[in-house]
Structure 1
Amino acid sequence: MKAAFALAAALFVAAASAQSPQVNLPRVKLSAGMHQIDAQVASAPDERATGLMFRKEMPQHEGMLFVFEQPSQQCFWMKNTLLPLSIAFVADDGRIVNIDEMAPQTLESHCSTEPVRYVLEMNKGWFAKKGIKAGARLAGPPFRK
């Protein structure tokens, strides 16, 4: 009986933590022109897989930078993501390849138009509100050669 209770409790904790937003990732300061971004960095496979899932809010100057081992076509969807987001696919030199808008809790795929190593997610409309388009460059430690 005690073993069954312990197993049930462990499964409950695992299920609860699986639906918790990740908030303790490392951070990096980026800039897009005069605009500053405080980005959490998701570089491990499990961090990238979870991304911004289950998060109910995010400050306007914050985002999440996904870092992959090598450039390739990157595709994202919004299953279990509660916030509408804008996504920028970014080349090694910081050039934004393409930007897309993503609706929450959908399986619609949003892909880079060329191989990229970096993907930056911000609140929906962030890039448009700042006048940032494909071809603009992000600056910060990941993009320094």
Structure 2
Amino acid sequence: MNARIWRGAAIAVGLALALPGCAGGSADANQAAVAKTIPVTITSANGAHVFAVEVAKTAAEQERGLMYRTDLKKDGGMIFAPYPAGGGAPREASFWMKNTPTALDIIFIRPDGTIATIAENTVPFSETPVASGEPVSAVLEILGGRAGELGIAPGDKVSWAK
């Protein structure tokens, strides 16, 4: 009888631990899904700025992005490359902040590696589209306000190992 109770309790605990990951609402599950970081360098008028960012390559990773995340480091972030997932011709990008509790700077990157536009300090949880305004081949998300602090501007060069 005791073994049966323990087995039932173990199953219940296992289900309780598995369900948040299935719902897609777990920050830990989101972070574990895209844990590897790469250096991304933005060269601006006042020097080079290096960020250690996660890479979102697949459609699922790009759809999830930094949703539910509250642990973004000062020089961290996420790069969506290639954008759109799977490659193809550059296209106009549109992002939103649904389920994203942290303000972000969204940096839209042209095929030549220069910054097209920067949406600074996007509003957490907003479902208002944030558009690139022109075709892009990558998008970089960093902590809100960092682009302004570092003097990063349209036209600056972005590079990373592809």
Task: Give the TM-score normalised by the residue count of structure 1.
Answer: 0.85
Q: CA deviation at 1:141?
A: 1.6
Q: 1:20 aligns with which of 9, 19, 26?
A: 26
Q: CA deviation at 1:113?
A: 1.3
Cα–Cα, structure 1 residues 12 and 23, in superposed 2: closer, same or farther, change >3 Å?
Answer: closer
Counterpart for residue 124 of structure 1: 144
Let me know the Cα RMSD of the aligned residues: 2.0
1:51 counterpart = 2:65: yes
Q: Quick check: which one's helix share is greater?
A: 2
- Structure 2 residue runs of 5 or longer lacking an equivalent are 1-10
Find the aligned partners of 1:13 and 1:94 in 2 and give their Cα distance. 40
Find the aligned partners of 1:92 and 1:37 in 2 and give their Cα distance. 20
Q: CA deviation at 1:77?
A: 0.3
The letter of the residue matching 2:96 is: W
Cα–Cα, structure 1 residues 126 and 20, in superposed 2: closer, same or farther, change >3 Å?
Answer: same
Cα–Cα, structure 1 residues 14 and 115, in superposed 2: closer, same or farther, change >3 Å?
Answer: farther
Q: CA deviation at 1:28?
A: 1.6
1:66-110 Cα shifts (integer Å, max 9, x gaps) = 122131111000010010101000012210000002110010110
Find the aligned partners of 1:113 and 1:137 in 2 and give their Cα distance. 18
Find the aligned partners of 1:30 and 1:121 in 2 and give their Cα distance. 11
1:36-83 Cα shifts (integer Å, max 9, x gaps) = 111100010110011000111211110100122131111000010010
Equivalent pairs, count = 136
The letter of the residue matching 2:125 is: Q
Q: CA deviation at 1:11?
A: 8.7
Q: Secondary structure at 2:69's aligned position in 1?
A: coil
The letter of the residue matching 1:32 is: I
Q: 2:41 aligns with which of 26, 31, 34?
A: 31
Find the aligned partners of 2:133 and 2:105 in 1 and give their Cα distance. 15
The 8 Å contact of residues 67 and 99 in structure 2, kept in 1 or not, is answered as: yes
Q: Secondary structure at 1:128's aligned position in 2?
A: helix
Q: Secondary structure at 1:73's aligned position in 2?
A: strand
Find the aligned partners of 1:121 and 1:32 in 2 and give their Cα distance. 12
The letter of the residue matching 1:29 is: P
Find the aligned partners of 1:11 and 1:92 in 2 and give their Cα distance. 45
1:93 counterpart = 2:103: no
- Structure 1 residue runs of 5 or longer lacking an equivalent are 1-5
Task: Give the TM-score normalised by the residue count of structure 2.
Answer: 0.77
The 8 Å contact of residues 20 and 26 in structure 2, kept in 1 or not, is answered as: no
